[in-house]
């Protein structure tokens, strides 16, 4: 899942790399969903999902939705596996407000431990643990966070763990039992990538500017003077929306302006050309607070147009 219909470059890069990696595994089916409707479907019909590949922030949200709809965020275990190291933890945070009160559901950590045991080749131990855990849930012995109509006894952390220990060797009756997986160590393969050819073509200069009642046309005047012969003022945007040239007077402008200069003097500009431009911008009395250099990568722009441009 991504939001690459809007964040075309950042989420778009993620989607493109996903497609590249997917092509290396043609026997695994894939489907891309926009994260807003994908999150909605996950909440309403979780049975339609298997593995979700997504960006960090979305994964943070989606993993909580998936865990909660399955019963509780207290249930989910998590594996973080890289090329040379792996780390296993509960999906949820540390919840310091209930620390030491014998209240927390230990299921998340136990399921993380099961993932770890499987990863290091002890799938039989993991299955034994998870089957005892499923049997405990099935017997209606629950911590407070998952208590419901099928609960027979609400217990604390220690009593829940003891109930699982008491059932080691047993299997669930109605739920599906976990079968030991012999070798399911996750191997991360990184395909070497060729570095793209990068070429500097412009610079976005961000200004803090409130003069002349924030009228973009008045800002364009000193910027065009600063551009000189070799740079060209291409656009001014405010909060992502193009306000010059030919902006809409209705656009509410904040203090923070993006002013895009493109190089138009043949060969790529040097760092000195960028600094000379910035010096002239400052010389016009303008307060630049940030710069983003604009590059093409293998000829493709690594930056987006302003909204409305």
Report the interface residues with a copy of itself, using CB under 8 A. Answer: 3, 35-37, 39-44, 57-58, 60-61, 63-65, 67-69, 73, 82, 85, 195, 198, 208, 210, 250, 252, 271-272, 275, 278-279, 282, 287-293, 295
Tokens of 7: 């964040």
CB of 279 to a copy of itself, least distance (A): 6
Nearest residue to 275 via CA among 231, 213, 216: 231
Residue 41 to residue 24: CA distance in whole angstroms: 28
- The tokens 């019963």 sit on which residue? 71
Comparison of 107 and 118: residue with beta carbon closer to a copy of itself: 107
Query: Going by C-beta distance under 8 Å and a sequence separation of 6 or more, which residues neighbour residue 230?
Result: 263, 264, 265, 269, 273
Separation between Cα atoms, residue 259 and residue 206, nearest integer Å: 6
Which residues neighbour 99 within 8 Å (Cβ) at sequence distance 6 or greater?
A: none
| Closer CB to a copy of itself, 82 or 217, in the complex | 82
Q: How far is the CB of 271 from a copy of itself (least distance, A)?
A: 4
Residue nearer to a copy of itself on the CB measure, 10 or 170: 10
Classify 161 as helix, strand or coil. Answer: helix
Least Å distance, CB 140 to a copy of itself, is 21
- Please tell me the distance from the alpha carbon of residue 59 to that of residue 103, in angstroms, as a whole number: 26
What contacts 24+ positions apart, CB below 8 Å, involve 144-151? 144/103, 144/105, 145/72, 145/74, 145/105, 146/71, 146/72, 146/74, 146/75, 146/105
In the complex, least distance from residue 75 CB atom to a copy of itself, rounded to whole angstroms: 12
C-beta closer to a copy of itself: residue 165 or 289: 289
C-alpha radius of gyration, the chain, whole number: 28
State the distance between the two ends of the chain, measured CA to CA, in whole angstroms.
27
Nearer to a copy of itself, 80 or 184 (CB): 80
The least distance separating a copy of itself from the CB of residue 99, rounded to whole angstroms, comes to: 17
Q: Shortest distance, CB of residue 301 to a copy of itself, whole angstroms?
A: 15
Shorter beta-carbon distance to a copy of itself: residue 5 or 184: 5
Taking the complex as a whole, the smallest distance from the CB of residue 38 to a copy of itself amounts, in Å, to: 9
The nearest distance, CB 65 to a copy of itself, in angstroms, is 5
* CB nearer to a copy of itself: pick between 68 and 166: 68
Structure tokens belonging to residue 166: 């008491």
Of 217 and 240, CB closest to a copy of itself: 240
Q: Are 47 and 55 in contact (CB under 8 A)?
A: no
């Amino acid at each position: 899942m991504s939001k690459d219909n809007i964040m075309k470059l950042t989420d778009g890069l993620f989607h493109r790399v996903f497609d590249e990696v997917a092509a290396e595994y043609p026997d695994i089916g894939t489907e891309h969903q926009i994260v807003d409707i994908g999150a909605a479907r996950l909440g309403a019909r979780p049975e339609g999902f298997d593995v979700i590949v997504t960006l960090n922030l979305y994964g943070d949200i989606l993993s909580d939705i998936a865990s909660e709809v399955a019963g509780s965020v207290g249930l989910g275990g998590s594996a973080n596996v890289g090329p040379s190291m792996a780390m296993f933890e509960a999906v949820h945070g540390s919840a310091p407000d209930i620390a030491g009160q014998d209240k927390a559901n230990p299921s998340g950590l136990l399921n993380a431990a099961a993932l770890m045991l499987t990863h290091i080749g002890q799938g039989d131990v993991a299955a034994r643990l998870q089957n005892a855990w499923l049997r405990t849930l099935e017997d209606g012995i629950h911590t407070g966070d998952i208590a419901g109509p099928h609960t027979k006894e609400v217990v604390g952390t220690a009593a829940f763990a003891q109930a699982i220990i008491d059932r080691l060797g047993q299997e669930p009756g109605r739920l599906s039992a976990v079968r030991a997986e012999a070798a399911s160590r996750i191997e991360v393969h990184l395909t070497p990538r060729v570095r793209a050819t990068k070429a500097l073509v412009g610079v976005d200069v961000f200004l803090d500017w409130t003069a002349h009642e924030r009228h973009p046309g008045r800002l364009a005047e000193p910027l065009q003077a600063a551009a000189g012969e070799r740079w060209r003022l291409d656009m001014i945007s405010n909060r992502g929306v193009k306000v010059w040239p030919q902006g809409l007077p209705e656009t509410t402008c904040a203090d923070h302006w993006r002013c895009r200069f493109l190089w138009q003097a043949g060969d790529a500009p040097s760092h000195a050309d960028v600094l000379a431009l910035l010096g002239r911008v400052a010389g016009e009395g303008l307060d630049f607070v940030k710069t983003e250099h604009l590059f093409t990568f293998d000829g493709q722009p690594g930056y987006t147009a302003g909204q409305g441009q």
